[in-house]
Structure 1
Amino acid sequence: MVGGGGSRTVVLVAMTLANAMVLVDQTAVPLVLPSIIQHFGIGSQQVQWVLNASLLPLAGLLVFGGRLGDLIGRRRTFLLGSLVFAAASACAGSAPTFPLLLVFRVLQGVGGALMLPTTVAIVSDAHPPGDRGRVLGLMGGAAAVAGAFGPVLGGAMTSAFGWRSVLLINVPLAALAVAATLRSVRRDPPAAGSHRIDLAGTVSLSVALIGVVFGVAQSQVWGWGSAVVWSALAVGAVAAAGFVLAERRSRNPLLEFALLRRHRNYRAATVGQLLGGMAEMGLGVLFPLLLVLNLGMSPAVAGLALVPTTLPMIFVAPLAGRWYDRVGGRVPLVTGFGLLAASGVLLAAGVYGNSFLSVLPGLVVYGVGLALVLSLNDPVSLDQVPERSHGQASGVSAAAEQFGGALGIAVIYLVFHSVYVVRLHATITAGPLTDLTDTQYSTLRDDIVAAERTGLRPSSFDPAFVDYLHDVRWSSYTGFSAAFLAVAVLAVAGAFATWRWVRRPALDEG
């Protein structure tokens, strides 16, 4: 796949840049939402669609993007996705109205879905099998570090140049990735066999993933009693069943279930990406709440306090790749999931220390464990799959992580919030303070949400509820502890799946 005038290094840099660009867009955009609210005069519930408009097509079309790369060529698919992503970023950054901004965010998600799975496949094809673990680990680690520092970048660029700059910066970055790809990646050879796209499978899978993501995400806004939420989940379930039927009948399926049955490493890595994405994005929502709301940090200081969770990516990812090249994926992945489980226990216990130092060990162990899991799942997913299906396998892996992330945000936050509310009600009812009416509880909840930027400080809290602050704080710690333990359970499941299925490629039984 490497052209004569280029080099493997240029391929790696180009694909890493593209990978990082999509991830940074996901993590930097939340920092511009307040500015978008002010600019367009919209509400907080409406502005959340700036994120969902990109996430939904990204989750729904990743497998299609990988399969398209297998059918028409990975270089061609990557270039198409890069151009769509760059053009949509330019249009979104200059959108005159909020509805148009959402339309262009959807197109950004489409472009990202074509880019992400082909980046892994292109890098894998450009390197010999003995080096793939190292280079894929390096690419994944570098992209993850860039994504982790997205909030810092988003906040700084918004302050210096305005919210539109966070979207417009994608244009020159995409241009660099395209130029490097044209220089270093050889043209795709003529594809053998049918070029027909499995439209039935593409539509049904997209509807299934989007239905579930939409239903779970909106459950936090409309509640589980909403008919729309359950309708979306039902549509997703029906579409998932339709997808399975369509793939079994298709001569050119979007997702070959035989690959999952035949290759245990691919199956384990897909499950691992799902669980890793749940932990990564679920805790990505909770960590800022803990640091800002409970420990009283400013958002800027909280971003710096999370460096222990991201710094390990720089050092661990390359070492993890070399470890994989020596021993295969089983032991490193089990170790990574084991560390994630240990971090959940450490965080669950440390949160009651009511200080940053008490949770710091858990944050560091979490960063190391997540670095191992996310760096190694990519090479493990490909090490037994035939090269002709690398694009599909990469798309499935990326889709599993994105879908797991959306699911993790809802599920882990649901655990936190449910335990938090139940504990608060029980504490106030059993304590010496006057019990609150439903209306007062609603007002207290609104005041807690408003305090997310200032922390739970008596000096900045509603005087009518200052006496309840102690119960609020310690009830929230119980909720955080329960959520961290839920992550530990997910990690144990990941360790079991890895131990059960992953083997070195030479030991695969077919």
Structure 2
Amino acid sequence: MADPRVHSDPHRAHVVAAQASPCDELIIRMQPTALDSPCRRKRLALAATILGSSMAFIDGSVVNVALPAIQSELGASVAAMQWIINAYLLFLGSLVLVGGSMGDKLGHRTVFIAGIAVFTLASAACGLAPNAGSLIAGRAVQGIGAALFVPGSLAIIGAIFDGEERGRAIGTWAGVGAITSALGPVAGGLLVDAFSWRAIFFLNVPLAAATIALAVSSVPNSHTPDAPQQLDWPGALSAAAGLAALTYGLTEASARGFAHALVLCAIGVGALVLAAFLMIEAKSRDPMMPLEVFRSRDFTGANLVTLLLYFGMGGVFFFLPFTLIRAHGYTATEAGSALLPVPVIIGSLSRLTGGLTTRFGSRVLLSVGPAIAGIGFAMLAMPFVRGSYWAGFFPALAVLGLGMTITVAPLTTTVMGSVPAHRTGVASGINNAVARVASLLAVAVLGIVFVWSHDAALSARLDELHVPHDARQSAQLSGLNAAAGAQAGGAHTPPQTPTAQAEADAIVAALRAVALVSAACAFAGAGLALATIQRRK
């Protein structure tokens, strides 16, 4: 049970909701509290957790801004760009629960440092990657490292700080996380424009060295007394394998179609392995995902809302920077800055929405918030969203940020209150993993929507230009090259040829299709909240 002496605002951790998951703070609340350390060592330990968490937050956002540059240099296909994101999300989402259990059993500092070390080596490998395949492999190892240190950073705060100090530490961690989430894409864009996309990975090396040094000198190797006797490796591996096969099938479907044997086989294998994962969890003595928590209607409803809303967020935040750069000629810095309204609004209004949860209850806010976010997604699909940022993209992102602000705090409250006290930490970890998996599936599924919509729109525009069918491949390539040249030229340079304009228009049409699907998911989340979350007096 959470310590009743903690007087922190339970919603401040959701300032970072645009990149972090909705229930990180709950993991903190479930940690033991009895370790006395000098104030200076506590501050250094807090700095270590903040640096570690910041690397994960930044790495989850800056790569999206760098994708066009990566595509240009490495000649990556759309599927390869999807896997550059998904390889990280796959292993982080499927292993984060077992990573938390490892810290409980083996010691939070040990696993935290091991995770940072793995993440650092993988970051260096990503920075040196000679081709897309090597970069994807490095991103996968980054995800494994992050799955070790992300839950460990939260557990360390809970183990070191007690009472009101813990509340202040949570506030500091959340505040710095908000800053890194907001500034991460901007800083990443600056590095891409000034140096290379490789710089965003090499930046992790000095940050990780400082984090490890602080952790070694100041963090005690605390354990959780009721840690599981055995780690649920069968569950973790089956979850990773099932999600990998399913994601591979969905990613390949954009190019091959759902009728292709490889696509059908991959999706079928993924579904079977995920079914086996559920059987393993049902029979395991120490499951990483105890199925009994889903007997709570509120818990199941909150996770469905999380899945649908973060699905939309993951898709839009993947394809929007690419569209701004390729179709509208934004620089990487400008594209990163364009995303600022969402984290800034969440950070500015999070305390206000915390009070609304107490006043109106989670059910109302979990219905209103996703509906407003759905309006924001839908606005991105409107015809007036062309190249003008302030008249088009900014209003849509501001409405999206408002909807997320209203949603993330009651999500935490619902998850916390829907399970017994001894299951709160597990429930928060599951909700965390659901948010990661939602983004993983979004990039794969909405990739199909993006590619098919793009191809259909491009074909229609080339028909209008009377481009012969045998010349369309070269026309498409020239359009892509012109878009890339516009990016390099900066200052929103318009496409210079009719085929380049046709390619830019096709990318815009594809983003609109993605935004509409994201809006539908958000509205469905609002309806599910009404249907599943119980009224509270």
Whether the TM-score (by the shorter chain) exceeds 0.5 is yes
Q: What is the aligned partner in structure 1 of residue 314 from structure 2?
A: 281
Q: What is the aligned partner in structure 2 of residue 446 from structure 1?
A: 477
Q: What is the aligned partner in structure 2 of residue 314 from structure 1?
A: 347
For 1:125 and 1:332, locate their aligned partners in 2 and report how far apart those are by CA, in whole Å: 32
Deviation for aligned residue 1:242: 0.7
**Pair 1:190–1:14, CA change in 2 (3 A):** closer
For 2:358 and 2:238, locate their aligned partners in 1 and report how far apart those are by CA, in whole Å: 37
Q: What is the aligned partner in structure 2 of residue 166 from structure 1?
A: 200
1:321-358 deviations in Å (ceiling 9; x for gaps): 45446665434433321220121233333545663313
Deviation for aligned residue 1:256: 0.5
Q: Which deviates more, 312-321 or 110-119?
A: 312-321
Cα contact 2:462–2:472 (8 A) shared by 1 = no
**Pair 1:305–1:245, CA change in 2 (3 A):** closer
SS in 1 for 2:342: helix
Question: Is 1:410 aligned with 2:444?
Answer: yes
Alignment of structure 1 residues 196-207 onto 2, 5 Å:
196-207=230-241
Question: Is 1:498 aligned with 2:522?
Answer: no
1:435-467 deviations in Å (ceiling 9; x for gaps): 44433343333333333335599975446x47x
More helix by share: 1
Please tell me the residue identity of whatever aligns with 1:495: A
For 2:139 and 2:128, locate their aligned partners in 1 and report how far apart those are by CA, in whole Å: 12
Aligned residues: 496
For 1:475 and 1:244, locate their aligned partners in 2 and report how far apart those are by CA, in whole Å: 41
**Pair 1:94–1:304, CA change in 2 (3 A):** closer
Alignment of structure 1 residues 172-321 onto 2, 5 Å:
172-178=206-212, 187-189=221-223, 191-192=225-226, 194-220=228-254, 223-224=257-258, 226-262=260-296, 264-321=297-354
**Pair 1:133–1:334, CA change in 2 (3 A):** farther
Superposed CA RMSD in Å reads 4.2
For 1:231 and 1:323, locate their aligned partners in 2 and report how far apart those are by CA, in whole Å: 48
Q: Which deviates more, 69-78 or 276-285?
A: 69-78
Please tell me the residue identity of whatever aligns with 2:477: D
**Pair 1:160–1:203, CA change in 2 (3 A):** same
For 1:376 and 1:11, locate their aligned partners in 2 and report how far apart those are by CA, in whole Å: 30
Alignment of structure 1 residues 416-435 onto 2, 5 Å:
416-423=450-457, 425=459, 433=464, 435=466
Q: What is the aligned partner in structure 1 of residue 518 from structure 2?
A: 487
Q: Which deviates more, 6-15 or 291-300?
A: 6-15
Please tell me the residue identity of whatever aligns with 2:279: L
For 2:307 and 2:319, locate their aligned partners in 1 and report how far apart those are by CA, in whole Å: 18
Cα contact 2:187–2:333 (8 A) shared by 1 = no
For 1:203 and 1:501, locate their aligned partners in 2 and report how far apart those are by CA, in whole Å: 31
**Pair 1:383–1:142, CA change in 2 (3 A):** farther
**Pair 1:451–1:142, CA change in 2 (3 A):** farther
For 1:321 and 1:177, locate their aligned partners in 2 and report how far apart those are by CA, in whole Å: 32
Question: Is 1:335 aligned with 2:397?
Answer: no
Question: Is 1:18 aligned with 2:49?
Answer: no
For 2:285 and 2:251, locate their aligned partners in 1 and report how far apart those are by CA, in whole Å: 35
**Pair 1:189–1:473, CA change in 2 (3 A):** closer
TM-score by length of 1: 0.79
**Pair 1:166–1:270, CA change in 2 (3 A):** same
Percent identical among aligned pairs is 28
Deviation for aligned residue 1:93: 4.9
For 2:69 and 2:376, locate their aligned partners in 1 and report how far apart those are by CA, in whole Å: 35
Q: For structure 2, which runs of at least 5 residues remain unmatched after alignment? A: 1-31
1:146-186 deviations in Å (ceiling 9; x for gaps): 24533332343355565554333324433554566667766
For 1:452 and 1:206, locate their aligned partners in 2 and report how far apart those are by CA, in whole Å: 36
For 2:379 and 2:317, locate their aligned partners in 1 and report how far apart those are by CA, in whole Å: 17
Q: What is the aligned partner in structure 1 of residue 17 from structure 2?
A: none
Deviation for aligned residue 1:272: 2.8
Q: For structure 1, which runs of at least 5 residues remain unmatched after alignment? A: none
For 2:387 and 2:131, locate their aligned partners in 1 and report how far apart those are by CA, in whole Å: 44
**Pair 1:332–1:76, CA change in 2 (3 A):** farther
SS in 2 for 1:349: coil
Q: What is the aligned partner in structure 1 of residue 6 from structure 2?
A: none
Equivalent in 415, 418, 428 of residue 381 of structure 1: 415
1:175-210 deviations in Å (ceiling 9; x for gaps): 554566667766534634751122322221111112
Q: What is the aligned partner in structure 2 of residue 345 from structure 1?
A: 378
Q: Which deviates more, 288-297 or 488-497?
A: 288-297
SS in 2 for 1:188: coil
